[in-house]
Amino acid sequence: MTADELRAIITWLEERVLLGSAETDHPIVITFLSPTADEMIVAGLNAGGARRLLSVSWWDEMVTDIIETPDLCDSDEPAAEVLAFARDVVSEYIRKRFPLEEE
């Protein structure tokens, strides 16, 4: 997988981080539409990279951190900023923990 292919995966995943409806005490809710490998492949993403990424041991931890982002923000933080912070979680996890090539 190339660096550009990994960036494409990150960008695609970031777009799946969305503002959700506030069903809790917190005014901002973040949702993440966890993909399947098939969805990623159909989207034109690197098949091997998609499969490898979805099988990493820290995937669930990343998803939890994405969803819990509003809890780490100030209560008066604009929703757009909280969303940007949550999307940054995706790139931070992947860039720090996911090698381009299989180890």
**Domain spans, the chain:** 3-97
84-98 residue pLDDT tens: 999 999 999 999 999
Report the pLDDT value the prediction gives residue 102, as an integer from 0 to 100.
Answer: 67
Report the pLDDT value the prediction gives residue 20, as an integer from 0 to 100.
Answer: 82
Per-residue three-class SS string for the chain: CCHHHHHHHHHHHHCCEEEECCCCCCCCEEEECCCCHHHHHHCCCCHHHHHHHHCCCCHHHHHHHHHCHHHHCCCCCCHHHHHHHHHHHHHHHHHHHCCCCCC
49-102 residue pLDDT tens: 999 999 999 999 999 999 999 989 887 889 999 999 999 999 999 999 998 876
Is the separation of the CB atoms in 93 and 57 below 8 Å? no
Is the separation of the CB atoms in 42 and 5 below 8 Å? no
Report the pLDDT value the prediction gives residue 100, as an integer from 0 to 100.
Answer: 81
Report the pLDDT value the prediction gives residue 103, as an integer from 0 to 100.
Answer: 57
